[in-house]
Amino acid sequence: MKLTPEEQDMLGGKHGNAVRKSMEILTTLGEIFEAECMVDVCSVQVAGVSYANLGEAGLEFLSEMAEDGKVKVLTTLNPAGMDRENWQALGIDEEFARNQIRVIDTFAKMGIITTCSCTPYLVGNVPHFGQHIAWAESSAVCYANSIIGARTNREGGPSALASALTGKTPEYGYHLDENRHGQVLVKVHSQVKGTDGFGVLGKAIGDRLIRLGKNIPFIVGIPSASVEELKSFCASIATYGGTALFHMEGITPEFDRYPKPAGDVFGINQEDLERARSELVDVGLEVDFVSIGCPQASIYEIEKIASLLKGKKVKKELWITTARPIKRMADEAGYSKIIQDAGAKFAADTCCVVAPIKGRFKGMMVDSAKACYYGRATNKFKVKIGTIVECVEEAMK
């Protein structure tokens, strides 16, 4: 790789140990992917925050980086294993809580903003069109590339942290125009709505992409979509199709920047959507846990949940997972009080997948196709997808 004199100094240790280690990680990655040079990034989102995934070995690596490492650009975190302010109410054990706080404090020492969110674009970590960034969470990567038109590969925890400490990333993959073209035309022939509906669509398309061995779809036939529907779609297509970038005619900013794919094409009809939905409902499921907010809930979704719960009581465990700044907005607007008076719980800066709740529940209902996948794979729950209204109704049964 061709490094600038400043980057060579970083690699040579003139900027300290953490920067040297970071440049080693980034140049190794760059060599593997045949990057010619580094590119400056303006925003980072670091994953690998839950102590459940990091363990002591991961924390040791972070502590070493924190000895002299300081972030060069705006950096936020992916969801942690617990809500720092509400972990007791969510049934998290004390030892885990202590360790999770050590992890977050170590990130804070490096100057990272400790908002733990998979929706950084809703809480102030917002790049604009064409900017190079280094984000790690798959749904956020897909949102940044596709909906915002920023440029990021799907980083791992260490490479994202390395970018934060240097302000650099190797220029390959989605940072380059030639890798951002649509590869397959997808014609949607059926109406799609709601966060659950867009999640189901993401699964239907993602499953087909995997069979075709392609991962950048150019999608036509969606007349409009809300931010919430798009964040759900991004999470789902990233999970089921490994997609980090898609184009959607009339909706995403780069849809007319590159030629429409001419070769592969497939359609998605009502039958495909019904099949995908039926695959997100397990037989013999008894719901004892409902979670809304995967990706983490927006203030609009929380307002909707509050209006559904006003003056009512839930009978099942209901979590609203969101980023802390959104929770603060909900507090000020009075939505949190309504939701908590109904017996539902906020799980801020965490989610139903990264929290250590394996085995605590049998059946989980969600409005998210991604949460269905990881609810099964990670937490061994039976799962069921439904609309936000159906989720709230289920919690009150």
Residues that bind ligand F3S (CB under 6 A): 78-79, 118, 137, 139, 235, 294-296, 321, 351, 353-354, 370-371, 374
What is the distance between the alpha carbons of residues 143 and 136, in angstroms, rounded to a whole number?
12
Q: Which two tokens stand for residue 27?
A: 């140049």
Relative to beta strand 38-40, strand 168-170 is antiparallel
Which residue has tokens 């993959």? Answer: 173
Q: Is 61 exposed, middle or buried (0-12, 13-18, 19+ CB in 10 A)?
A: middle
Quick one: 220 or 395, whose CB is closer to ligand F3S?
395
Closest to ligand F3S by CB, 225 vs 371, is 371
Output the smallest distance, CB 353 to ligand F3S, in A. 4
Q: How many Å apart are CA 6 and CA 166, to the nearest integer?
A: 10
Q: How many Å from the N-terminal Cα to the C-terminal Cα in the chain?
A: 60
379 exposed, middle or buried (CB, 10 Å; 0-12, 13-18, 19+)? buried
Coil vs helix vs strand at 145: helix
Q: How far is the CB of 138 from ligand F3S (least distance, A)?
A: 8
Pick 7 or 367: Cβ nearer ligand F3S: 367
> Which lies closer to ligand F3S via its Cβ, residue 188 or residue 354?
354
What minimum distance in Å lies between the beta carbon of 46 and ligand F3S? 13
Q: What is the smallest separation between the CB atom of 296 and ligand F3S, expressed in angstroms?
A: 5
- Report the DSSP pairing between strands 134-135 and 43-46: parallel
Q: For the residues of 141-184, what is the DSSP string, one character each?
A: HHHIIIII--B--B--HHHHHHHHHHSEEE--GGGSGGG-S--E
Q: Which of residues 165 and 348 has its CB atom nearest to ligand F3S in the complex? A: 348
Nearer to ligand F3S, 66 or 141 (CB): 141
CB 87, min distance to ligand F3S, A: 16
Residue closer to ligand F3S, measured from CB, 144 or 353: 353
Least distance to ligand F3S, CB of residue 295, Å = 4
DSSP 3-state of 134? strand
The DSSP code for 343 is T
- Smallest distance from ligand F3S to CB 118, Å: 3
Q: Which of 85, 172, 93, 174 is nearest to 127 (CA)?
A: 174
Alpha carbon 199 to chain centroid, angstroms: 13
Least distance to ligand F3S from the beta carbon of 18, Å?
Answer: 26
Q: Which is nearer to ligand F3S, 22 or 78 (CB)?
A: 78
Q: Which two tokens stand for residue 74?
A: 């705006």
